[in-house]
Every structure is written in structure tokens, then in C-alpha cells.
Structure 1
Amino acid sequence: MRDGDVVEVGDLAVRVVATPGHTFTHLSYVLLADGRPAGVFSGGSLLYGAVGRPDLLGPRHTHTLARRQYASVRRLAGRLPDQTVVYPTHGFGSYCAVGAGGADTSTVGRERVANAALTQDEEGFVAGLLAGLTEWPAYYTRMAALNAAGPPPPDLSPLRPATPAELRRRLAAGEWVVDLRTRTAFAAGHLRGTVNVGLDGSFATQVGWLVPGNTPVTLLAPTPAELAEAQRELVRIGIDRPAAASAGTPREWAGGGELSRFALATFADLAAVRAHRPVLVVDVRQRDEWAAARLADAVHVPLHLLAARRADLPGGEIWVHCASGYRAAIAASMLVVAGRQVVAVDDDFDRAAAAGLPVAYDSAPRHATR
């Protein structure tokens, strides 16, 4: 499809409009009713003040794409009437966009007063966009080539079952064996060496971010249905065929061997413990979350850097937290694999100050050192 093409989609007519934002070939799709614009699918470029990331092609293209996005949003808004409905092309919270809000739709008229590209001059827009960029999942690099080549037909047939002996071999070889259960179930008992990435959170994003490319992945879950759900999620990020899987219980996966476990706690529990003895607190949230608010004496190690830096953490007991407990459990499972004594804070960070913990703002992160 090219800029200006009109495509019939069922009873709808769709006009393609080139809008460089994420990449040089990013497109918006305008829905036509009786030949007039009625709606537009526009992702992060024209939705509730959100903007598409200009850094996904690397630093060489970042500034150019930021400026092209500014021009393309203005071009698109200039061609559409105020009542045109704006729809998202990916979910809110996606790492593809910066500053996305939480509503389902907008209008071009609303964007004229909310979108930075339509309310600022070009230099102000570019400076603000670049300043707000955060880390993005590592699998995005692999996805560019996969998307360009075209994905193969998905194979969602049941995965090959893994025996306890095979699971032990894969763990010994340094492969990733991922337990899909909730953090509460995983903390209570799990196969030693496995990592918890629950299906009840950002499963595919975290697996794609944490597992090195070409590393075999084996899935564990209570039921075949959960394994099938995980397969569907992983296909969407280019992990087309996990190496093996097993539906069952931790004791079945361990083959009668000893299970590992770790404690879950709240921020109030952390405050109570620190009143009696020092513990190392590790914050695994992203850089922008840390900058907004953080425990004053916590060590900052974003989750996607933990595998490389966990050996740098000082000895002793570790309490690890994130914003809600999901990423803290992933981190805790990785630290247990490394032989550390760990407690995962399964609590909302907004409750930390009320629990009596010191919360700090607006200073540079303090990273772990040997």
C-alpha cells in the first residue's frame, strides 16, 4: 500500500496516509464514510498526547524520525476534521509509545489541544520527546527483521512434553525454564532453577526482554490450556516454537526432588524488618519509574539488567520490589537461581510512604557496585 491508496475492507473504505513516527514506513489508516473521513487508526502518533518512539531504528535515525513525526502528525491533523475519531493501534502501556493515556478513543479536535506535536513548536516537541524516551524490550531488535521478512505460518500444535530428567538437563545447560503460575503459587514452591513469569501479567514482553536470543525456552504450567495461551503470546514476539513444555505440578516437575521457595511480603513488612536490622533493597522498575519516586536507600537495577548485574549486589538478604509485585517476583526467582536469600515485595509502590518508608524524588539513581 502507498500513501493515498484507498482500500475496500468489507463495508468500509480505508485511505492510507504515510505518517513516519515509529519507523520510516509507519502508516495511519483513515476510515471513510461516504468518501469523508470518519475515523483514523494512528497508534502513538495521534492519540491523547502520546507520541510514537523515534528510537527503534537506532540512534542514527532518532532525531530524523522525531522531526518527521512532528511533521506527519501535523499533516494528518490538517487533513482531518475535528470530529474524526482517533483509535489506538496498540494497547496502552505499550513500549511503542511515549506518554500514552488510558482511554479508548479520542478525536482530532481533542488532539489539537492535547497532542504535543500540535501544541508545541518543532524544537520543543523534539526536545520533550527525546527527554521522555525510556528503555524498550530487547526483542524489538529481532522483530524488525522478522516483520520485514514476513512471519512464517504459526505452529500452535501442542509442545513436546518434557520429563523431569529433561527439565534438569535443560536447567543444567543454562536454558530458560519458565513457570507460568502466579507469583503467589510460585513463591510457595517451584522447581529449583526455574524463573517465574506469570501469565497474569506482561508475560510476552518480559520473556522477550529477558531471554537472550536463540536461547531455548521451556514452559511449565498447571494445565495444557495455559501452555497454549503462552504459545500464542510468544508467537507474537517471534518465539515461534518453545523447546518443550510440561503441564503438572512443581512436585511432578521436580521428580520427587526438593522444591525451592521464597517469601512474599508488603512494604509494611519491609518497614518493620528495617526497624530491627539492615537489609538490601533492590528496585527493579524502569528508569522513569525510579526517577518519579523511589525508596531513598534502595539500589536500582532495572529488571532487564538484573541477570548481568546480580553478581554485583552486596551479600546478605535481599528485598526486591517493583510497582505492584509482578516484576519483583520475576527478579526474586532470578536471584534464587543465583543462590541468594530473597524476599519479594508483593505490594503497590504507592503504599511505601504510608508504611513509613523514606521516599525520595529527583536525584540520579544509585546503582549496585561490587
Structure 2
Amino acid sequence: MSETAAARAGGGVEVTAVVDEGLGNSCYLVDLGDGSALLVDPPRDLRAVRAATEEAGLRIRFAADTHLHADFLSGAAQLAHDDGAVVLASATGRRRFEHRGLAEGDEVDLGGLRLTALATPGHTDEHLSFLLRDGDRSVGVFTGGSLIVGSAARTDLLGADRAEELARAQFASLRRLSALPTETAVWPTHGAGSFCSAPPGAARTSTIGQELTTNPLLGIEDETRFVERLLGSLGSYPPYFLRLAEVNRRGPAVLDPATTGLLAQLRVSAVRELHEAGAVLVDVRPVPDYARTHIPGSLSIPLRAQFATWLGWLVPPDAPIVVVGNPDQDLAELAWQAMNIGVERLVGELAGGIDAWAAAGQPTASTRLVGPGEIDERRRVLDIRQDPEFTTGHLPGAVHIELGALAQAARDLPDEPTVLMCGHGERAMSAASLLERAGHRDLTVLAGGPDDWAQATGEKLQVGS
């Protein structure tokens, strides 16, 4: 789920980015030169961070949060508990656990290096960027959810009624950051794949000079035009974003790493009773396995890098969860992804998996899986990708409903023969399972996406909404 990339930010300062490809975020490990380290925007899942610090022979002395994160739970409180790290965060964030509250211009002596707090509201009210200095030289700036590569983070997470106000604050914050020396490295938290940011792209770090040249928002000098451009780029986001900031304010519960990834083994009879009582059966097996046979009413969310996002988007936060997986799947990875977004009601997993369920004489279902050239033109095509994906190119005549909105829309959607499609097939199978739960039948899932269909048929995709 995570990867690390080390880069020297000039003058020998070593900064290691630990990237969560699933949530689209980066945290940063800064070697302070004395065997200790600063960690900026750490996630609750600290496994990759621990691996990076152990490899570098470092101990974490400081943990800094740029803002009250909405898309993941912070690991700062865990680091304070486990490592005795000093937590650095905005004083106006009113965190309810021990931390050093910082305001505009406050400096922290890191033992040679210095960290200066810059007030950069916009993504959130209390947002800080942290300028890393070596003497009088600006080495880099941790911009969190302010300036990001090619854009700026969204400003509507505190409600649509405040989105414009915060976009205007974001305008001022970006202009302030863009006045830093051009060689200053830019280390954002949010990047491609994050629902907190707008643009796709592979680059996760940059420099002030590069952003001045390539970031379209920095080229807009009129505040109103900036606001229109930023707000016009925002799409939907998972509902758990609305509750995690407050959990981060209180401080997430400290976890025991030795037991967090362990799931209880549940017999078929227990799983049946839990399901009848309202537990959600989350089937994390690959798409072909779910298509071949699954428990009726189970929800397909294949275990992959993006698992946490769709788990938090599609499963109600108060619902008990029972996992159905394959023996070779790493369910500890599943548990940690869930904990990273505050999903903690994992009751256990079906012991023996789907084979045990079928062997016990319990009912099973299947879903037809077809290739790009096998779509029956008489069927409705339902494209459940995000809006920007759909407008880039889709099958002519396709109906569009985002996956995150499908559960609510299913009740009004006519039950007719339907092909579900996304970019590869994972989200489409999730959509099929949602429709099946709502009583729809005769569902088919496309293994592939619109580009595969165009290549197989020689037909052109339709562009636009």
C-alpha cells in the first residue's frame, strides 16, 4: 500500500517521502542529523514509517500535523505514546491531547534545522505550512493541503456554505507560499489519488519555481477567477471525510500494533446470524472469484490499495463488518487500511471462506463477467466512475451514476438487464453487489474499461457529460 522515496533537498538534508498510493497521501521523514527525526503528517498506519525509520536507524522525536485531516486518522498521538514524540500542530486546532500549539511565525529548533509555522488557511481554517530552514536558507516547505503539485487542495470540507470563503483564503495562502525562494522544495501531503485534491498526475513533490511555471492556479492573479477555477474543479468525496477531522481533534485511540491486524475466525452459523442481524459481509476477494460465487447480499470491495476509500464510502460507519476473503490474502493489510480511516467494527472473518459457506449448504450467487467485446447492445450500460473520468470518455448512451451515489439511487433505478463498468472492473463489481443487495437481477460486469471497449470494437468513445 505504501512506498518510500528518499531525496536530498540540497545541503545534505535528507527527506524521505512515505507514500500511501491508496489514499493518495504522503508523509515525510526528515533526518535531523543526530539520530532523530521529524515526521510530518503521519498516518495512523505507521508500518511503512516504522520500516523507513528502522532502515535509517532513526528515532522519531517530533511529529507535525499540517491540519486536522479529513481523509485519514493522524498517527501523531500514537507516536507521542509509543516514542515520546513531541506533537507539533496549530494552536487554533484545539486538539484535546498533549501537543505544542503553534501560531504564525512560531519556530521550533530541531537541533540545527529550524521549522517555522506559516498560517495558510483554505483547505481548513487552522491549516499551517511548515517551512524547513537550514540556517537562513529555505530548504523546503511542507504544504499539507495548501499548495499541491499542479493545484491546491479542496476548500469545501467544512461545508458548501464556507467553500467560497475558504477558497479566497486559499488564494492568499498560495500567493504567500509562491513568494518563497524558487529553489524551495514543495512537499504536499495530498497528491494524485486523494479526494482532497483535484488533478491527476504522477508527481508528488515539486519546487516553488516549478509550480510558478506549471501550476495553473498560480497563474491566476484575479481572486474571483481563482475561486471559480478551484471550486469548479471539485468533485464528490467519501462521507467519512465529514467525521474524521473531529476524531483527529480528540486524538485517535492508541492501537496495539501486535493485535490490530488480527481478525476473529467466525463459523458459518455465526456469520449467518450476524448477517441476519444487520452486519455487512464485505467480500474482499478478486473480481473473478466474487463473480464465480459469493454470498447473496454481500458487498464486493476487492482488497487493493484503494480498499479503504471504498470501504469508508460504501459501508455505514456504525455497521458491524464481517470479512470474506481467500486464504492467501493479507487480512492484516485490510485491518490496517480500515483503522487508517477510523473503521473499527471489524467483527471477524468467515473461517474457511466461501468454500466453508457452500459446504455448509448455504445459498450462493454468481455474477456474469464479460470481456470488452462481449457487451450485449440491448442491455443498459451503467458507468459508475467519477465525473471527471466519465467526461473524459465513455460508451455512447451509457448511463452515469457515481459509485458513491449508487446505493441511494438504486431504489429509483429500473430493474432491467444492465452492464456495470468502471476503469478496470473492481468498482463495477462493487456496483453490481450494491444493486444485487437492492433487489436488482440480470447484472453483468465488464472486465476492463472504456478504452478496452474502444480497442475491442473499433468504436469511438463519447466525450463530455
Same fold (TM over 0.5): yes
**Correspondence 1:42 to 2:143:** yes
CA distance in 2, matches of 1:90, 1:362: 27
List aligned pairs for 1:123-134, cutoff 5 A: 123-134=224-235
**Pair 224,139 (structure 1): closer, same or farther in 2 beyond 3 Å:** farther
1:285 corresponds in structure 2 to 385
**Pair 12,262 (structure 1): closer, same or farther in 2 beyond 3 Å:** farther
1:308-352 Cα deviation digits (max 9, x unpaired): 222322233211001221210111222233341211111132233
**Pair 33,47 (structure 1): closer, same or farther in 2 beyond 3 Å:** same
1:186-207 Cα deviation digits (max 9, x unpaired): 2122222211111124110001
CA distance in 2, matches of 1:45, 1:253: 49
**Correspondence 1:351 to 2:455:** no
List aligned pairs for 1:239-318, cutoff 5 A: 239-254=343-358, 255-270=360-375, 273-274=376-377, 278-318=378-418
1:360 corresponds in structure 2 to 462
Say if 1:182 and 1:200, in contact at 8 Å, map to a contact too: no
1:366 corresponds in structure 2 to none
CA distance in 2, matches of 1:324, 1:330: 12
Say if 1:218 and 1:243, in contact at 8 Å, map to a contact too: yes
CA distance in 1, matches of 2:263, 2:118: 41
1:367 corresponds in structure 2 to none
Say if 1:67 and 1:122, in contact at 8 Å, map to a contact too: yes
Q: Which amino acid aligns with 2:244?
A: M
Q: Which amino acid aligns with 2:209?
A: G
Question: Quick check: 131-140 or 324-333, which moved more?
Answer: 324-333
**Correspondence 1:332 to 2:432:** yes
Q: Which amino acid aligns with 1:318?
A: T
List aligned pairs for 1:40-119, cutoff 5 A: 40-78=141-179, 80-119=180-219
Deviation at 1:220, TM superposition (A): 2.1
CA distance in 2, matches of 1:8, 1:204: 36
CA distance in 1, matches of 2:112, 2:287: 46
CA distance in 1, matches of 2:459, 2:278: 37
CA distance in 1, matches of 2:124, 2:342: 19
1:195 corresponds in structure 2 to 299
1:80-134 Cα deviation digits (max 9, x unpaired): 2111111231342100111253213211001112223321021211111111110
CA distance in 2, matches of 1:212, 1:176: 9
SS at match of 1:127: helix
TM-score (norm 2): 0.72
CA distance in 1, matches of 2:136, 2:115: 10
2:275 corresponds in structure 1 to 171
**Pair 357,239 (structure 1): closer, same or farther in 2 beyond 3 Å:** same
Question: Quick check: 256-265 or 67-76, which moved more?
Answer: 256-265
2:115 corresponds in structure 1 to 14
Question: Quick check: 59-68 or 181-190, which moved more?
Answer: 181-190
CA distance in 2, matches of 1:113, 1:357: 38
Q: Which amino acid aligns with 1:259?
A: T
CA distance in 2, matches of 1:221, 1:8: 48
**Pair 91,184 (structure 1): closer, same or farther in 2 beyond 3 Å:** farther
**Pair 292,249 (structure 1): closer, same or farther in 2 beyond 3 Å:** same
SS at match of 1:352: helix
Question: Quick check: 2-11 or 159-168, which moved more?
Answer: 2-11
TM-score (norm 1): 0.90
Say if 1:187 and 1:262, in contact at 8 Å, map to a contact too: yes
Q: Which ranges of structure 2 fall in alignment gaps of 5 or more residues?
A: 1-101
Deviation at 1:154, TM superposition (A): 2.4
SS at match of 2:132: strand
1:368 corresponds in structure 2 to none
Q: Which amino acid aligns with 2:213?
A: V
Q: Which ranges of structure 1 fall in alignment gaps of 5 or more residues?
A: 364-370
1:41-80 Cα deviation digits (max 9, x unpaired): 21343232221100000012100110100101111221x2
Taking only aligned residues, the RMSD between alpha carbons, in angstroms, comes to: 2.1
Residue number among 221, 225, 231 corresponding to 2:325 in the alignment: 221
CA distance in 1, matches of 2:453, 2:329: 37
Say if 2:380 and 2:398, in contact at 8 Å, map to a contact too: yes
Deviation at 1:172, TM superposition (A): 2.2
1:257-291 Cα deviation digits (max 9, x unpaired): 24221122222111xx32xxx11111111222223
1:184 corresponds in structure 2 to 288
CA distance in 1, matches of 2:347, 2:280: 10
Query: Comparing both structures, which one devotes a greater share of its residues to helix?
Result: 1
CA distance in 2, matches of 1:186, 1:9: 51
